[in-house]
Structure 1
Amino acid sequence: MSATDQQEATLMETATEMGDIEAPTTQLQANPQLESDTSAAIFKKANRPVTLKFENVVYKVKPDQKQGLSFLKTKKQKSEAEKIILKGVTGIVFPGEVLAMLGPSGSGKTTLLTALGGRLGGHLAGTITYNGKPFSNAMKRNTGFVTQDDILYPHLTVTETLVFTALLRLPRTLTKQEKIEQADAVITQLGLTKCKNSIIGGVFLRGISGGERKRVSIGQEMLINPSLLFLDEPTSGLDSTTAQRIVSTLWELSKGGRTIVMTIHQPSSRLFYLFHKVLLLCEGNPLYFGKGSDVMSYFSTVGFSPSVAMNPSDFLLDLANGITGDDSQADQATVKETLVSAFKTNLLENLKMELHELNDEDVSSAGDQKQFKRWAIPWWEQFSVLLKRGLKQRKYESFSGLKVGQVLVVAFLTGALWWKSTDLQDQVGLLFFISSFWGFFPLFQAIFTFPEDKMMLGKERSSGMYKLSSFFLARTVGDLPMELVLPTVFVIISYWMAGLKPTAGNFFSALSAILLCVLVCQGLGLAIGAFIMDQKSATTLGSVIMLAFLLAGGFYVRHVPSFISWIKYISIGQYTYKLLLESQYKPGETYPCTSGSGVCLVEDHPAIKKIGLGQHVIFSVVALLLMLIGYRLLAYVALMRVGRTK
């Protein structure tokens, strides 16, 4: 019998003696159909076993620069003020093992988990290896990471969420139907069958419960059959039965040769004895690392035993808080120092010897490196799946009653105010208003795009789910229906009500100018949102930019001072305004005026003369097209920093 088998047997024997749990296998066998359905999906053998080693991991963070006059501090003062979150944590987790990291809030559990998952940058020191090698993009795409906060699309159903994840993350060797079947198997295993057709929901949208959301998040990672699985508080907010089901599932996953690492705050005794290894942290210091079945005996040997029978996790948390549980009034800081010293004396050296005795060459050669695919599916499939997912998620937002109603009200109000207008000054004012409205409206719709998607994009890019280019193109293409349909409806209503030239050529010229303006302003909004990534700040900057374009648009100020006249060359409004004028008027046309002859040339009208008719039309179109491409490229470059890991 192998060491791992002996360890599992010991754990189960200990748990059975306590009468707390049954082996997870027994629970699954109670439903043979369930076991049959799910084994192929999530309980099959890991693609490539991973041995995780971490030695003397230290993580430091700089103090809050907003507190005090930090720029007046010396380099030495700033260095002294640095806060150490992790203080030399060491450990090793083999394939087939579940490591649970325990400790009170602020002990560094999540920070360590994030570091081990390859998602933590900054002042991170120490050595972390995966089969003897550093973290890589290939390793990233074979690693599952479940965050504490459930990052899900609110308008998608449970089934849609998991199916889209399966289509993106499962390898191309599987057919679409096989991927859907695996998603359905995960739904069954996690007890999500009753809510499979319910939407996820959000803060202002009623959906599934918090526990069901957590299981959906876990299911997304279980789909890919990861060799290494990290979970941050997977049982947080769940009832004991659901928590037992999830941890039992993770225990079964480990039997397939997976390496599983989780943080958990206060597990029940039933859950505690499912953990192969336990790491106890206190203020960034390790107090224990070893078998879960040996933890109570270890602390007993160093002089700390519970005064009454109690849940081991409760006892460990008491110790991590400096509470001994006996009648002594020992100082908490002293207790913590004693435990840290005991760990270094009794466990640390043996742990380091185990790490150094393990032959990294043997570990790294286990398995076939070719099984680590760079991307699960090709670019075109990524784009197709992301486009379908985006359309399903945003169709409720894009064509919401509020947005449609807003456009319709403004369209009819505009048509009523300029009803069958024959006055040239009024018509010119109408054209400038239309160009201004369809500058502001799409800009502010687009500004919120990427700040709202920041967390989702970061999560999925960190998992190596797709290329940024496929996401970006799918996101922008998916927004086109709303971006083009609503302004088209607006122009159809207001154009004919206002009595502009009733010919197909004039109408489609005006419509084309508006649609081009909309696309350019949308690109500008995407770029601002991608660079700022804060909705309030991005909105403020967008307002300032558009007001500058509006004032330099050629309608309000005809004699702009030379030192600021350069703004007109980057003003979207000016180019759109010129194209709209060209769509309605041609050189040589006249209009009634108060001159001696009673008629004047349109191109001599004060509001038109500065812009000019029949001049630089191609230049205006080319300028807008260049902006259309340029702003989107800027947005893409800004997004490249989102979701990056070391």
Structure 2
Amino acid sequence: MPLNSIVPKPDHKSVPMEGLPKMSEINNRAVVAYPGQANSQSVHQLTIYPTTLKFEEVVYKVKQDQKGLCWGGTWTTREKTILNEITGMVCPGEILAMLGPSGSGKTTLLTALGGRLTGKLSGKITYNGQPFSGAMKRRTGFVAQDDILYPHLTVTETLLFTALLRLPKTLTRDEKAQHVQRVITELGLSRCRNSMIGGPLFRGISGGEKKRVSIGQEMLINPSLLLLDEPTSGLDSTTAQRILTTIKRLASGGRTVVTTIHQPSSRLYHMFDKVVLLSEGHPIYYGPASAALEYFSSIGFSTSMTVNPADLLLDLANGIGPDSKNATDQGENMEQEQKLVKEALISAYEKNISTRLKAELCKSDPNNYNYTKDASAKTETKSEQWCTSWWYQFKVLFQRGLRERRYESFNRLRIFQVLSVSVLGGLLWWHTPTSHIEDRIALLFFFSVFWGFYPLYNAVFTFPQERRMLVKERASGMYHLSSYFLARTFGDLPLELALPTAFVFIIYWMGGLKADPITFILSLLVVLYSVLVSQSLGLAIGALLMDIKQATTIASVTTLVFLIAGGYYVQQIPPFIVWLKYLSYSYYSYKLLLGVQYNEDDYYECSKGVLCRVGDFPSVKSMGLNHLWVDVAIMALMLVGYRLVAYLALHRVQLR
């Protein structure tokens, strides 16, 4: 039996709204059986909790700032209504399509139904008569319009890591991997299972295959409620039909499916069970897809031509009547005519559909269902809050991070960049004699500057680039934010510390610095320490701003200030601004490198035959070589503090 053959599709056509099944019947769990598993004793049986979704008089408003027309006018705030009293219901086995022109509120309504909309939302949205909960969130699949996928992972890796995080911990890794292979087969992805997803800089799988991978990520949890935002956007007609055929099969297995769609072909339109038609946030039709043309004909909007029903519905939502000769005209008369058509459609909806629909939904009120709110239900919700443990999430995210970023961290260009700089620097400082203390100190400052700023600029891009993925996965309840953050932090260590290690190995010995193994190891540790601190600052800036342009601008200003105040260029900083150097981690790493390389009582040849004390050299004297452990502690506070700021900033991102 295929993956989507679960239970027979309920015959909703023979069951009126007022005759909905009782809650005790709805809560019966449908069981998925897989090929070759019928006689297996160790088979894991995934379950579906059939979900009836109801939304009643949903209203959503946003605040908009406007400036007065007069000179020096003040800003005023007004509310704009995005959704205006939208009502409907979807039962298990049905597909509800939301149609409407761009800006009509389709995606906003879908986001509200998925429990992901924040702001001034009013009305009532229930799932089997219950409000949205953590347990319901983990039985809801949400496929965004844009395919948010890691480009360097293969199709199998993408689905496997999703399965490891979203499937319950009662399943073993092998069982989850087997489930991934079934989903790959079900979605027709076998041919590209080992191909990379791809991104803007390199070619991967096709757009239709990416969309199926996105759907597959939600199929893995066997969702009771599947929400899809423009699943056919940007696809050709044949690929779009394949996608919707797959969705139709999923619905026939007892799932409740809601999708937005912009301009479906007639073949796609006839696959829908119900349609909600929106015009500027107002509903102008709700009901069976097959009865839409008949309804509009009954209120005076009939057409003499054979047309795609979706085309006619979208024309009406735009205020263009059927057989209108002025459909492409512009001007005030046309705008007035469109406004009159929209008002007529809204009025007809209120008169013919809205009142009857509210009455039918009232009769099917969940208070009539036979269900009880007991402690066991609360316990179940609490136990289902997370599918896996914190430690398990950390391990999976750590592995995924290493797999995804291995190409980015060790790409040829980046390796060439670091190695070429190290070799060139080694040649410029080739075997610098001990008497040239200025050049040696300059080399140590170059260490602190290069590995103080290079990791910072790389880290600035981290969270802005991963924001959409983080929001998507956190909204699905895949993991704790803390497990993601620590996995990202520790996952970067082997990738980010390898290149500076190679850099120091090359330039240290070529530059002729102190040829002592202990001194070399301590110098390497100071450089790696500086890398971690600068990376922490980059993560904090990126997480706070979440905008690459703004973050790079702030990073440039910060690095410039740290460079000037680092203790090398300006040795006698005026007292009123001397505090700047104590904010610069470059200052501390430079001081530590000096302290590792020299003691104040060391001597160097300041002129022929004359020895001078290192501690009296102006650059060293201005820095001082005492209290190095204090500098280590201050850098530790910076490392922890910057990362804590980044973590708290990511918490704020979830509220946006």
- TM, length-normalised to structure 1: 0.89
* Paired position in structure 1 for 2:162: 165
* Paired position in structure 2 for 1:446: 459
Check the 8 A contact 2:196/2:205 in 1, yes or no: yes
Indicate which of 298, 303, 328 corresponds to 2:295: 298
Indicate which of 337, 340, 343 corresponds to 2:346: 340
SS at match of 1:58: strand
CA-to-aligned-CA distance 1:611-645 (integer Å, 9 cap, x gap) = 112x1111011111111111111111111123348
Uncovered stretches (5+) of structure 2, i.e. residues with no partner: 1-7, 17-32, 327-333
Q: Distance in 2 between matches of 1:246 and 1:501?
A: 66
> Structure 1 residue 496 and structure 2 residue 509: aligned?
yes
* Paired position in structure 1 for 2:630: 619
Q: Distance in 1 between matches of 2:122 and 2:151?
A: 38
Q: Distance in 1 between matches of 2:242 and 2:455?
A: 47
> Structure 1 residue 57 and structure 2 residue 70: aligned?
no
User: What CA RMSD, in Å, does the superposition of the two structures yield over aligned residues?
Assistant: 2.8
Q: Which of 579-588 and 52-61 deviates more?
A: 52-61
Deviation at 1:245, TM superposition (A): 3.1
Q: How does 1:172-571 map to 2 (within 5 A)?
A: 172-326=169-323, 331-361=337-367, 362=369, 365=372, 372=381, 373-422=384-433, 423-571=436-584
Q: How does 1:108-119 map to 2 (within 5 A)?
A: 108-119=105-116
SS at match of 1:641: helix
Q: Which of 583-592 and 58-67 deviates more?
A: 58-67
Check the 8 A contact 1:232/1:262 in 2, yes or no: yes
Deviation at 1:457, TM superposition (A): 0.5
CA-to-aligned-CA distance 1:381-408 (integer Å, 9 cap, x gap) = 1111111111111111101111111111
Q: Distance in 2 between matches of 1:365 and 1:209?
A: 48
Check the 8 A contact 1:37/1:185 in 2, yes or no: no
> Structure 1 residue 580 and structure 2 residue 593: aligned?
yes
**Is the alpha carbon distance of 1:571 and 1:74 closer, same or farther for their aligned partners in structure 2, counting shifts above 3 Å?**
closer
Indicate which of 128, 132, 137 corresponds to 2:134: 137
SS at match of 1:202: coil
SS at match of 2:259: strand
Deviation at 1:378, TM superposition (A): 0.9
Identity %: 57
Q: Distance in 2 between matches of 1:211 and 1:38?
A: 30
Corresponding pairs, count: 613
SS at match of 1:238: coil
CA-to-aligned-CA distance 1:79-116 (integer Å, 9 cap, x gap) = 2xx43222221112223321111112221111111121
SS at match of 2:85: strand
Check the 8 A contact 2:67/2:74 in 1, yes or no: no
Q: Distance in 2 between matches of 1:71 and 1:155?
A: 52
Deviation at 1:364, TM superposition (A): 6.2
Aligned AA (2:358):
K
Q: Distance in 2 between matches of 1:404 and 1:552?
A: 30
Aligned AA (1:61):
V
Aligned AA (2:168):
P
**Is the alpha carbon distance of 1:71 and 1:254 closer, same or farther for their aligned partners in structure 2, counting shifts above 3 Å?**
farther
Q: Distance in 2 between matches of 1:556 and 1:564?
A: 15
> Structure 1 residue 7 and structure 2 residue 20: aligned?
no
Q: Distance in 2 between matches of 1:429 and 1:310?
A: 77
Q: Distance in 1 between matches of 2:405 and 2:324?
A: 61
SS at match of 1:560: coil
Q: Distance in 1 between matches of 2:303 and 2:56?
A: 31
Check the 8 A contact 1:273/1:293 in 2, yes or no: yes
Check the 8 A contact 2:97/2:275 in 1, yes or no: yes
CA-to-aligned-CA distance 1:306-352 (integer Å, 9 cap, x gap) = 21222222221222122332368792222211111010001101111
* Paired position in structure 2 for 1:120: 117
Q: Distance in 2 between matches of 1:170 and 1:134?
A: 23
* Paired position in structure 2 for 1:642: 653
**Is the alpha carbon distance of 1:487 and 1:419 closer, same or farther for their aligned partners in structure 2, counting shifts above 3 Å?**
same
Check the 8 A contact 2:96/2:257 in 1, yes or no: yes
Q: Distance in 1 between matches of 2:221 and 2:14?
A: 25
Check the 8 A contact 1:46/1:258 in 2, yes or no: no
Check the 8 A contact 1:7/1:276 in 2, yes or no: no
Q: How does 1:50-129 map to 2 (within 5 A)?
A: 50-63=51-64, 72-73=73-74, 75=76, 78-79=77-78, 82-129=79-126
Deviation at 1:292, TM superposition (A): 2.0
Indicate which of 608, 627, 630 corresponds to 2:620: 608
Deviation at 1:144, TM superposition (A): 0.8
Check the 8 A contact 1:8/1:276 in 2, yes or no: no
**Is the alpha carbon distance of 1:344 and 1:37 closer, same or farther for their aligned partners in structure 2, counting shifts above 3 Å?**
farther
Q: Distance in 2 between matches of 1:222 and 1:439?
A: 45
Deviation at 1:492, TM superposition (A): 0.8
Q: Which of 176-185 and 329-338 deviates more?
A: 329-338
**Is the alpha carbon distance of 1:359 and 1:238 closer, same or farther for their aligned partners in structure 2, counting shifts above 3 Å?**
same
Check the 8 A contact 1:211/1:238 in 2, yes or no: yes
